[in-house]
Structure 1
């Protein structure tokens, strides 16, 4: 597989070595293969490892099968995919509620399998949504871009905004929840606030409007702990309506929706911003 990557105007100047190692996070073994096979070209010419990459250059990388062995998974149904953004390297889709992001068993069919069928090759999960949650979710189309996107996620440069219908009323317009989250010792499926042993977690909450005795809120994640929004709101007496684990107020679905996803594309440096809609979520607000 060969990728031609135009270096954007605002890209910082760096050497080929720095680019492959510190920006693309290509593993040492694969970098060695690229160098030995002369599989790195700039503007159509083989280039020295210490040469500089500059804005306007065309970088060409060629990977062999042994560099990134193809991971085969069962293909799902392409017609079930609702794409929000799609290019050579990444795809963002609108996940329906009630569908797993990825299967727990090799033969289990989930959203990953459907997206892979839509793309025509195996895709890779960058972040996940709970089965009950709908909305925007990002996948890598190839193993080259995956570690770059993973680093963006670790560095909190992939911004995710959720809508939630919470049980109860909120008195303040905005606040930040920073309670640590850990496993529930009595139920392996659940998480709890665990100030002593939990992992750091940060959720920014904005009240959008009150709907009867409930509150529609926007939640922005700074961290991505399992069930983070669900646990944080529940701990403060604001369980999400329809939550099968943390609420006793039933609804046709979990009223949590990944509404917006924003990131700067690591190769083009252009902003990608998508908004996902959900008919079932909107219906639950009425």
Structure 2
């Protein structure tokens, strides 16, 4: 697989090594293969790691597919895919509520990854999972389209450089913005659930901004400083304002969980372009 990337006009002159390591965040293993196999070109000419690259240069990388373990999934229905943003390296789609992000069994075909495999398969491309959304949560979700960009996006996610914002409807009148800083751990009695556990839990911080207060509910927007499982749901329930329709953390029955991944924002790892993708607000 070959990938050609044209450096932006504002690119500083740096070595190829600096470009791959510090700007593009290419993992060490991949850099090693690129260097030893001489699988890098600049403007169609071989280039060594100590040589300089400049604005508007075209960098071509050849990635050997055998170096990566790709778990093949069965094709689903490409008609289910709503694309919010797409380029040759990555794709953001709008996940429906009630759909799993990826299969847990080889014979599953009704997950978002199955459907996206069908959509990208027509272009001989593959999706790679960068992050996940709970089955009940709708909204914007990011996938890589190559094994080259997958670990780069993963590292950006770990370094909190991919900003995600969530819309939620919660029970009760929440009138003030707040920061919820409570450690989250596993529930020993129910493996599906998470609980507030100051002794054994992991650090979890959620920023909550109140958008509108209704008669019995409030509409809020949440952003995360950490990314724990069920973090928003557990944190909001812990302050007495569980998400409407939450089957795990409140008792009232509703048609669906009122939690929606509203926005994803990040710097594109190759073009350095600011990418901001918004999924239309959830409908409940």
- Normalising by the smaller structure, the TM-score range is over 0.9
The yes-or-no answer on 1:227 pairing with 2:230 is yes
Extract unaligned runs of 5+ from structure 1.
none
Shift of 1:70: 4.6
Partner of 1:183: 186
C-alpha distance after superposition, 1:230-270 (max 9, x if no partner): 00000000011100000112211001111111111111111
Equivalences for residues 84-163 of structure 1 within 5 A: 84-109=84-109, 110-120=111-121, 121-163=125-167
Cα deviation for residue 198 of structure 1 reads 1.1
Gaps of 5+ in 2: none
Q: Confirm or deny: 8 A CA contact 1:68 1:143 kept in the other structure.
A: yes
1:268 pairs with 2:276: no
**What is the TM-score of this pair, normalised by structure 2?**
0.93
Structure-2 residue corresponding to 1:81: 81
Question: What do the CA deviations read for 1:98-143 (whole angstroms, capped 9, x no partner)?
Answer: 0000111122221011112111133111111000000000000111
Contact 1:71 1:122 in 2 (8 A): no
Distance in 2 (CA, whole Å) between partners of 1:33 and 1:196 is 43
The correspondence of residues 252-267 of structure 1 with structure 2, limited to 5 A, is: 252-267=255-270
CA-based RMSD of the aligned residues comes to 1.6
SS of match in other structure, 2:38: coil
Cα offsets for 1:184-239 (capped at 9, x unmatched)? 11111100111122111111101111121211111112211100000000000001
- SS of structure 1 residue aligned to 2:66: coil
Alignment match, 2:197 = 194
- TM-score normalised to the size of structure 1? 0.92
Q: 1:33 to 1:220 in 2, by over 3 A?
A: closer
Partners of 1:45 and 1:144 in 2: CA distance: 21
Distance in 2 separating the partners of 1:20 and 1:169: 49
Range 128-137 or range 188-197, more displaced: 188-197
Deviations 1:56-87 (A, max 9, x none): 21111112333335542211111110000010
